Amino acid sequence: MDDVLSVESFLAGARRFAHLAMAAHGRSDHELFALHGGVAVERLVKAALVAKSPALLLEMRGKVDALFHLTGVKPSAGRVHTVGANESISRLRKLGVLPEDTDLDDLIELRNGVAHSTQGDEGRELLPALARTVEIVLTDLGRDLAAFWGCWTETVRLALDESRTELERDVQVRIQQARNIFADRFDGLPDDFAKRFRNDQIKPLGFTLMFVDHLLRAEGAVKCPACGNQAAVAMLGRTDGGGSVKFVVDEVGCPMCQLTLVSSEEFDVADLDLRGFRTLRLFGHRLNRLLDERQKSVGRVTDFADHT
């Protein structure tokens, strides 16, 4: 049997696509996550089948030449067609290796759909299914989980941590993914370059106000919980006509590692200290007066320093 259909070949392919899936999930590209994740599962499951017997890859309606090739009796001169993802998973379930898992089934179905159409955000919640399946199959193969996942090991551990709430798992997974994305940007570059680049991003904290109609958008900066660089804090405020403005933190996003947090619950899980921004409402009357003095020009940007 040729090396393409060997355990090591299938494992190498599974690892490569699993890493691509994790990177896509970290970028919130859930279509690409489903596509790569499904391929990773298919190759990993086939590795487990080959380890038991190469003949387990044979399509039941396949030609006898494929049987001869997979059993090593007689090499085939042509391409050998093996079973698809669904049948591979089915066979491993019948062998008692994989349990029934509707999320895994959804991942494979979504993978098949993504290849031909757009499926939106459906793959977002399926990371644990990929992580569970990889752990089960690698255990059956006697392979090391950390060696397979590499830099994604901690992310996978967090995805499977049942001691956390779903929200906590989701936020912590995204933070870890963002760390990996940031690290990848400096992969192979000198350490001093990364340090200088990081220092160049550090600026005095302040905020910028944009007045449009009766809405104020304030932007500030806070230390990113993932990569340590400055993340942008977006706040929204509305004037009530009486000279006061109430601000609410709307979003925290880091341009360096692509981490985005969008709710007070997510801010709390990420342990972000946004007290300075939340008390910005105390300056509302003064800010409104300053904007009045500038005739509240639509789209005008006014910079205020040292208010945070």
Most confident of the ranges 64-73, 142-151, 160-169, 268-277: 142-151
What's the average model confidence in pLDDT over 172-183? 91
DSSP string, 138-177: HHHHT--HHHHHGGGHHHHHHHT-TTS-HHHHHHHHHHHH
Sheet containing 260-261, strands listed edge to edge, beginning at the edge strand earlier in sequence: 260-261, 245-253, 230-239, 215-223, 206-212, 301-305
Q: Is the pLDDT of residue 45 over 60?
A: yes
**Both tokens of residue 264?**
């007070």
Q: How confident is the model at residue 41 (pLDDT cuts 50, 70, 90)?
A: very high
3-state secondary structure of 219: strand
Determine how many CB atoms are found less than 10 A away from the CB of residue 23.
19
Q: Are strands 206-212 and 301-305 parallel, antiparallel or unpaired?
A: antiparallel
What per-residue confidence (pLDDT) applies to 219?
79
Query: Is 139 in contact with 111 (CB distance < 8 Å)?
Result: no
Place of tokens 């644990």: 128
Q: What is the pLDDT of residues 108-140, one digit of tens each?
A: 998 888 555 445 566 778 999 999 999 999 999
Rounded to the nearest integer, the mean pLDDT of the chain is 79
Q: Please identify, in words, the CATH class of the domain defined by 3-160.
A: mainly alpha
Strands 301-305 and 260-261: unpaired
Buried b (16+ CB within 10 A) or exposed e, 131-158: bbbbbbbbebbebeeeebbeebebbbbb
For 205-258, the pLDDT digits (tens) are 445 555 555 567 777 888 999 988 888 888 887 766 655 667 788 899 998 888
pTM of the model: 0.74
**Most confident by average pLDDT, 138-142, 155-159, 258-262:** 138-142
pLDDT over threshold 50, residue 62 = yes
Closest CA to 285 of 235, 223, 216, 196: 216
Assess contact for 234 and 251: CB atoms under 8 A: yes
Give yes or no for a contact between 297 and 208, defined as CB atoms under 8 angstroms apart. no
